[in-house]
Structure 1
Amino acid sequence: MMQSTPFSSTASAPAPSSGSRSGVREATGALVLADGTVFRGRGIGAHGRAVGEVCFNTGMTGYQETLTDPSYAGQIVTFTFPHIGNVGANVEDVETTTPAARGLIVRHDPTAPSNWRSERSLDDWLKMNGIVGLSGIDTRRLTRRIRDGGPPVGVIVNAPDGNLDIDAALDEARAWPGLEGMDLARDVTCTQTYSWRETCWSLNDGYGVQDNPTRHVVAIDYGAKRNILRCLATAGCRVTVVPATATAEDILSHRPDGIFLSNGPGDPSATGAYAVPTLRSILQTDVPVMGICLGHQLLSLALGGQTRKLERGHRGANHPVKDLATGKVEITSQNHGFAVVPESLPEGIVPSHVSLFDGTNEGIRLQDRPVFSVQYHPEASPGPVDSHYLFDRFMEMIDRRA
């Protein structure tokens, strides 16, 4: 069994730093939870501190895509895989202009990168993007804490001088309200409408350009990842991206062949205050609609369903989901802390996918209209490509309407 390093102690209340006697290194970083638990370790990345909901991600690869996923706004990400940072970082693997994750927690100090695509170390990339990091703590213990008690509010601190100020961090953690009731889509959405033409990456050519689109899709940006837009472009679409606050009139004025509802962060009930009326107006038309993640939750709310906060959330690239229509199981990439309550869905709305981890809803479809959504990320960045067929399904719906 892997042993904790000397400076990864935990306590039920703030404790002094471990000092330097007997070869024990001075703690330069800490995670302070709102219940008073303190995890001490080594600070990495940007100096300072940040508050957020502490979650864990089980992915073994794709840490840069994860940290730049807008769905992680308001969250401090703990990776359960111990070796994070080995392949460094580059400009191609970012999923949004400004990373939204508030902090990073890893077991081991990131090593020097060893990958032909690397342009800088993970530590340098964290500093460049203002992300506070912490290494050297017992991430298995923290993960069990989240698994058993739910994602706590915490403050992550990186203080190279060793002045962690645990009391101030504890006060900040206890004052933060948490994600329930918080609309974060406004923080990560685009500020104006734009067009997207870039297609998916390939080994020999990198990213391509869609020069001959055969369909036009409007994507509502609740916190869209770039690879979602690339998948739409690769499928033959001219993509127009609009802000989360766009009205139905704004969206339909682009005369789309289909409408895509993106992923995003925060509480769907809070974002639904302005998104649901828009979606209800869109649903009165016959334009095909596809939603994922937050878009799936908002679509369910617009149809009369309800959402709830999950006890621990689903975050990783190894989540098995069953397609109830075909019986096939696909391994999916997921990142969400809320879920649709299937029992709340009105008649005519069919649950289409289910999680094989905990039985929660993973998708819906309408019986009488070309509308469907899933809770997971079919664009696979990072993650497996089992769910790319959903983009083909969306294209088929558009083509049948043409």
Structure 2
Amino acid sequence: MEILMALLYCFHQMFANLPFVSKTLTGNLDLFYALGTLGIVFVIFKKKRDISLLIICALPIVIYGIIQGMVIQNVEMQKLLVNISKITICISLMILVSRKIHDFKIKKFIDYICRIYIILTPIAIVLKQNDYLWRLHDTINKYNLVRLNLFYIEPSELGFHLSIIIIILMYLIIKEKTHKVQAKYIIYMIDCLGLLALAGAYGSSVMLFSTIIFISFIIITTKVNFKNILVGYGLIMVFTIITILFIVTKSSMYMRTVDTLNGKDSSNSYRVNVTQEFTSTAITKTEGIGVGFGNLNTDNTRKIFKSTGMTAVVAASYPYFIAEGGIFAVSYLVLLLTLLAINVGIKKNMLLANLLLFSFLYQIYGGYFTNPLNWIVYGLILSSWTPDKIELEDNI
């Protein structure tokens, strides 16, 4: 099971990135959607008690989507139905993970993923001119014209996946008592950080470091002991060294941070300003109904919101979902995030807190709502599983 999920984690978007695949299919050719579809079958035929949970989570989306289809003029029904279906599949994936994670060996899963990344790293470096593994001549990010995406649809997706693994690796390094195994995890961490740098995933990197620093600060200040203080100093040293290296080498991340602080990064300015503008405009112009699920990326909607400066689709999960779903989407998000936060609060665990905070921060100005990986994280948080069980697993 663990090796299968590791392969899915590394290659679930590989078919969407093929050169002959239509752009309209790029966001839909995800093998995790297939797993989520199996999750629906699993719920219906194997775990009938979970049908009520699927209905509670998905039925409001379906009903509201139908209402939007009836009241919104010029709504593209095909896009609306596809988006509703994807959300339902993601919810079923969340339920499947929450029910099956107790049998899952996280250490094995991480170990397999990191071994795959270590194998892919030299291959990617050797094949740096390959336009399947790399995004060559990036027209969006002026700071990194050549960015690594491996088998994901874009470099930012690679950064997102790597960040999740880095968060888990940090937890394993801190909790592991065997020095040999700790050394192995540190090697994995270095490789993941190297891939993150090659991806030039600015948003993922900033959110990752912000999450780790914030949660670490909370833990160290609320529970002062020698180990936590040592971990705190260790993190400060690591981030100080990384920051110095970025400054000395004048890395793209450092240059972009400087430009962002000085208001010179047009990409970030566009993402922040236009995202806020079209989200608020979508709610006010549609009287809180939204433009329709899956309908923000349409010619008709772009014409409506041309005054906001929206000339291209902005990848921003929560604003995107709110613009499409209106006040209903705001309510749905508040309930979902509250439920997740309550579960993290009950378990009081650094790993789950880091995963939730990173997922939340990343989706404010990045990602997309129907990204299966977010819902897998939600399932992990909502399950009866706790990270303390990791320590009971055998090292490999």
- Please give the TM-score of this superposition, normalised by the length of structure 2: 0.24
Higher strand share: 1
The structure where helix makes up a greater share of residues is 2
Which structure has the higher relative contact order (CA within 8 Å, separation 6+)? 2
